[in-house]
Amino acid sequence: MYLVGIFKLLSSSKAYNSMRFNHFLIFFWLLICFKINAQNTASKQVTTFTIAAPQLDTLKTIWVYLPKNYENSEKAYPVIYMHDAQNLFDDKTSYAGEWKVDEYLDTLNQNESIIIGIAHGNEKRIDELTPYKHEKYGGGRGENYVKFIKNTLKPHVDVAYRTKPKAEHTTIFGASLGGLISFYAAIMYPETFGKAGVFSPSFWFSEKIFELVNSVNIPTTSKFYFLVGDSESDTMVPDLKRMVNLLKTKGVDDYQIEYHIIEGGQHNEKLWSENFSAAYEWLFTKAN
């Protein structure tokens, strides 16, 4: 519906009569049709459910990936909470390509985890994934979003599925604004989220994220996996280096941090998909 709305807006403009703009609209409409007609690519291990999110005054669609051996075993599994679930498993629901999280996990015979994907709130995405307000972009309901995960979603997941509920087995993971809120959650609630996967974090959104890190004590049990591309933005790499240096001045040891700067990496699902497996493997070794 978001794309259709843009199409209607563009087609009503005066520029619609120009040949160049007509070509653009044709291309844009073909893109929409392609996404509408795209085949579902989600693994059979992926299901969804809906849960009330009182902290956000809404309902949330939750995507769940269960290990292939889940039904035939009695073991409990670590859990990774991930944002923007529409982009994780299914090309049909993704904005610009999926992460292929399920395809990777389907190849594993050990070191398995449960993945809980939280669907973003479309036009409310910025509000939900930012812990602070931005003068231009607004936002700032990230604390409520994290409390939804911590106080509502996680307790439900720990009852409904065989999980290892302790912080050492609980990871929060995302990219862009999802990277920002994942890092924030791990800093604010290390007793719940022992590890964070932080891809292309939007540290530019507010200086307060640096102030937060400077004001708290970070336990020796916390683990952080950072990844950015050097072709994302002018501030992405400097902001990451600044944050890593700040963490180290706060006493965070090298073994608690893994970070990578990908040559030519751009701010997109391709970068995140191609590097998910390496991040997962590192986080898993720190989660068990």
**Residue 27 lies in domain:** 1-37
Strand ranges in 71-161 using DSSP code E only, listed in sequence order? 79-83, 114-118
Decide: 174 and 196 in contact? Cβ < 8 Å.
no
pLDDT tens-place values along the chain, 288 residues long:
334 343 333 444 434 344 444 444 444 444 444 444 445 888 889 999 999 999 999 999 999 999 999 999 999 999 999 999 999 998 898 777 889 999 999 999 888 999 999 999 999 999 999 999 999 999 999 999 999 999 999 999 999 999 999 999 999 999 999 999 999 999 999 999 999 999 999 999 999 999 999 999 999 999 999 999 999 999 999 999 999 999 999 999 999 999 999 999 999 999 999 999 999 999 998 655
Q: What counts of helices (H) and strands (E) characterise the chain?
A: 10, 8
Alpha carbons 209 and 232: distance in angstroms, whole number: 20
Cβ neighbours around 20 below 10 Å, total: 8
Do 271 and 229 form a contact (C-beta atoms < 8 A)? yes
How far apart (Å, rounded) are the C-alpha atoms in residues 203 and 108? Answer: 33
Same domain, 233 and 276: yes
94 and 7 co-located in one domain: no
- How many domains is the chain partitioned into structurally? 2
155 and 48 housed in the same domain? yes
Please choose, from the candidates 213, 215, 217, the residue with its C-alpha nearest in 3D space to the C-alpha of residue 191: 217
Q: Can you read off the two tokens belonging to residue 193?
A: 């989220």
Q: Which pLDDT value is given to residue 27?
A: 44
Q: Which amino acid appears at position 218 of this protein?
A: I
CATH number of the CATH domain containing 68: 3.40.50.1820
